[in-house]
Structure 1
Amino acid sequence: MNFLWYPFEDLPFIFLTLVIAFTVHEFAHAYSAYKFGDRTAYDAGRVTLNPRVHLDVFGTILILIAGFGWAKPVPVNRGRFKNPRLMGIVVSVVGPLSNLLVAALGMLAVYVLNHFGVLESASTGVYQAIAHFSYYLITLNILLFLFNLLPIPPLDGYRIIQDIVPLHVRHKMDQNAHWGIFIFLLIVFIPQLREVTLTPLFSFWSVIFNFFAGMFETVFDRVFWGDLWADVLKMK
């Protein structure tokens, strides 16, 4: 099973994390667009937390193989917004921000469990399950937050730029948006390009993780993440 990006034994935790991350991400897009006056996603049944309507089979498989992927894009008609540019940016931003929120809530949950002694009193199996799930829930959601801000179509970062630049520039961007899938494939199959793309993300990941950890440590007792995730990291 060495063709997988992640350890085979951790696939249940990874799949559950992806279900949560992708569902919350796409729901955030759909719900915000609906609240701003666009019923396109609502009429398509996308304003829901049902993961079956959001998950993309190829995008999910790709994240297991290459370390990144995507869900089904939410259809958005910016022409129905009162302020298409501003509201379009907000609709694009809330997706990645929802992943950041999930990561923060996941970290908060671990601090709460540690504070009340649940981790210390848990059996070995329960402790390992919490360690593995928390590792992927926090790690993948922060990475998805960062990855979706890359200016590559059809990621949210690309959509944000589209709503910022002049209309003539956006028109040219629309003409070249179909190259996005080829860029993804190059990243997947060329290790050097994948390393160049993902290495900065992991650097920013550390900054975000340490920010949240430092913030929660002012309220709760310190969680020694190295000890909690020791068994998980040994499998990498």
Structure 2
Amino acid sequence: MFNLTISTVLARAIALLLGFSVHEAAHAWVAYRLGDDTAARQGRLTLNPLAHLDPLGAIMALVAMIGWARPVPVNPWRLRYGPRVGGALVAAAGPFSNLLMAAVVAIPWRLGLFDGAPKLVLTVAWTFVALNVALFLFNLIPLAPLDGISVLSGAVGRETAARLTPLYTYGPQILLVLILIGYVAPQLNILGKTLFPAMNWLVGLLLGY
């Protein structure tokens, strides 16, 4: 994880720069389309990475593969379909934009257009697909502050959604504990044992191996 080379850092930087920027811009765009211009008024309806990147989050993502961008501000009460369903649509836009970006690079890979390309290009392309798949899967975990909890709340009925309140309240603490466990007790790495097989399967499906 910490064994970095120039090509690895470059590949991660490109993937994360685009991955974070498109992810957050997708939130802002869907919110705007659903009637909330809060993010647009704050300059977040853009693909400009400077509008979305958090310096510490970007450094952590490059070095430790655990990072974050600046959250997009959303007023859920202004959203068409209401805060629960409208909020779910806004939340889903982020991770699914990452899946779309992974597919956009995977298609020419599957078609053989990268055959014979320099090793650096192959590294960047593979890393781009893998990290965007990782962002897709990780952000769908149903724990606040990740998108998955809002997506789940919008997908279930009102009564069931109300029962998810503890995942909003204690989600950040639970997520932090799960991440730390992965570092201090790898044999108990619940996140890794769940996400890595899913990530490997989806990357393999997209790239054809």
TM-score, length-scaled by structure 1: 0.76
Choose 67-76 or 20-29, whichever is displaced more: 67-76
Contact 1:59 1:71 in 2 (8 A): yes
Q: Is the 8 A contact 1:154 1:180 kept in 2?
A: no
Q: Cα gap change, 1:198/1:188 in structure 2, threshold over 3 Å: closer, same or farther?
A: closer
Structure 1: where are the runs of 5+ without partners? 215-224, 226-236
Cα distance, 1:20–1:191 mapped onto 2, change above 3 Å: farther
What is the aligned partner in structure 2 of residue 103 from structure 1?
Answer: 102
More displaced stretch, 96-105 vs 84-93: 84-93
**Correspondence list, 1:86-235, <5 A:** 86-112=85-111, 114-115=112-113, 119-120=115-116, 122=117, 127-163=118-154, 164=156, 166=159, 168-169=162-163, 171-177=165-171, 179=173, 182-183=176-177, 186-187=180-181, 189-192=183-186, 195-214=189-208
Q: Secondary structure at the match of 2:145?
A: coil
Q: 1:182 to 1:212 in 2, by over 3 A?
A: closer
Deviates more, 1:84-93 or 1:178-187: 178-187
**CA-atom RMSD, angstroms?**
2.5
Amino acid at match of 2:62: L
Residues 144 and 169, structure 2, Cα contact 8 Å, conserved in 1 = no
- Name the aligned partner's letter for residue 41 of structure 1: A
Q: 1:192 to 1:98 in 2, by over 3 A?
A: same
Number of residues paired by the alignment?
A: 204
State which drifts further: 184-193 or 146-155: 184-193
Percent sequence identity over matched residues? 32
Question: How far apart are the structure 1 equivalents of 2:167 and 2:193?
Answer: 26
Deviation, 1:90, is 1.1
- Of 4, 13, 16, 1:15 maps to 13
Q: Is the 8 A contact 1:89 1:160 kept in 2?
A: yes
Distance 1:184 1:197, change over 3 A: closer
What residue is the counterpart of 2:79 in the other structure? 81
Q: Which runs of 5+ in 2 are unaligned?
A: none
Query: How far apart are 1:88 and its partner, in Å?
Result: 1.4
Q: Which amino acid aligns with 1:156?
A: D
- Give distance in 2, aligned partners of 1:36 and 1:8: 43
Q: 1:43 to 1:62 in 2, by over 3 A?
A: same
In structure 2, distance between residues paired with 1:33 and 1:58:
26
User: In the TM superposition, what is the alpha-carbon distance from 1:62 to its structure 2 partner?
Assistant: 2.2
| Separation of aligned partners in 2, 1:178 and 1:208 | 26
- 2:170 counterpart letter in structure 1: N
Please give the residue correspondences for 1:18-29 in structure 2 after superposition, counting only pairs within 5 Å.
Answer: 18-29=16-27
Contact persistence 1:46–1:74 (CA under 8 A):
yes
Distance 1:47 1:189, change over 3 A: same
2:102 maps to a residue whose letter is A
Helix, strand or coil for the counterpart of 2:170?
A: helix
> Which protein has the larger Cα radius of gyration, Structure 1 or Structure 2?
1
Within 2, Cα distance between the matches of 1:111 and 1:14?
Answer: 21
Q: Does structure 1 conserve the Cα–Cα contact (< 8 Å) formed by 2:23 and 2:95? A: yes
What is the DSSP-based 3-state SS (H/G/I as helix, E as strand, rest coil) of the residue aligned with 1:154? coil
1:45 Cα deviation after fit: 0.7
Residues 1:14 and 1:24: Cα distance change in structure 2 (over 3 Å): same
